[in-house]
Amino acid sequence: MTVKFAFSRPTATDEERNRLFTGYRPAGYGGLQLKSGQYAPYLKVPERFLEEWGHLDGVGSALITGGSLNEQGIDELRERFHFGRMIGSELIVFCHGVSRSKVTAEDIRKFADILSELGQEAQQHGLKLSLHHHYDQPVMYREDFDIFFDRVREGTVGLTIDTAHLVKSGHADCPELIRSFKSVIDNYHMKDFANGEWQILGRGEIEFPQIFKAIRDSGHSGWISADEESGGGIDEGLAECLSFLKSGFGKQS
């Protein structure tokens, strides 16, 4: 089993973004999974992104994006395919910004059809499209995963597992879901959760030992990203999250 550790964190200012971009490699991470605001200013000018940040290995290993699957949303997703190809990304991580309360099982199947087509387009750009399940988004409940991935065309759309969103969505057995969908999981967002709030890894209430075991047993050999959204400091999050991940996967510092 070979995993690659990445980091992801929202930033509010250019100064914070720059600190994140220049800090993840010295901290020991292999890549950054970028929030939309961190690459959006460069979408029309990918050459400027490369000029400023292209010397950093893994700086845009994944692009996280959200939206709907209407005409405008699909155009925006395609724009990210182009940008990702230009800067050397591997994954486009899609958060489907529609409330679960507004969709039916048949809607989820239709979304799977649309994303299957888009996943094939992503592959033409040398990218993989990965669905990030979310609390109060179309793939939220346990049965939603079955409905969606039973319909998705094989090999077109992967799954980004987010530990905290699973727990917030009511999944009592996260390892079961990891075991059941190991064939499509291509990315992990590791995040802790307690008292209704995101927490730095190791500070919350999620029982990670069995999650680590399920991931190890699955033979996952891709990205595992600390998705740090607790609001803590950048340096603090970089250090604590990597230490926690290395401990969980038995890697030495």
Chain segment 112-158, per-residue pLDDT in tens: 999 999 999 999 999 999 999 999 999 999 999 999 999 999 999 99
Structure tokens belonging to residue 81? 């395919």
* Helix, strand, coil percentages in the chain from 3-state DSSP, rounded to 5: 45, 20, 35
Query: Domains in the chain, ordered, with CATH?
Result: 4-248 (3.20.20.150)
- Number of Cβ within 10 Å of residue 48's Cβ equals 12
92-104 average pLDDT score: 98
At residue 209, the pLDDT reads 96
Average confidence score pLDDT of the chain: 96
At residue 252, the pLDDT reads 45
Is the Cα torsion angle 53, 33, 10, 27 positive or negative in sign?
A: negative
Whether the pLDDT of residue 251 is over 80: the answer is no
| Percent of the chain clearing pLDDT 90 (strictly above) | 97
Measured distance CA(77)–CA(118) in Å, rounded: 9
CA distances 145 to 10, 52, 102, 140, 159, Å, are 27, 39, 17, 7, 10
Measured distance CA(218)–CA(221) in Å, rounded: 9
Whether the pLDDT of residue 26 is over 90: the answer is yes
The H or E element containing residue 219 is none
Residue with tokens 């190890």: 216
At residue 250, the pLDDT reads 83
At residue 2, the pLDDT reads 80
Phi, psi of 51 (to 5 degrees): -65, -40
At residue 211, the pLDDT reads 97
Whether the pLDDT of residue 55 is over 50: the answer is yes
Q: How confident is the model at residue 97 (pLDDT cuts 50, 70, 90)?
A: very high
- Is the CB of residue 175 less than 8 Å from the CB of residue 213? yes
- Burial label for 111, CB within 10 Å (0-12, 13-18, 19+), is buried
Whether the pLDDT of residue 1 is over 70: the answer is no
DSSP bridge pairs for 187: 160, 223
Whether the pLDDT of residue 253 is over 50: the answer is no
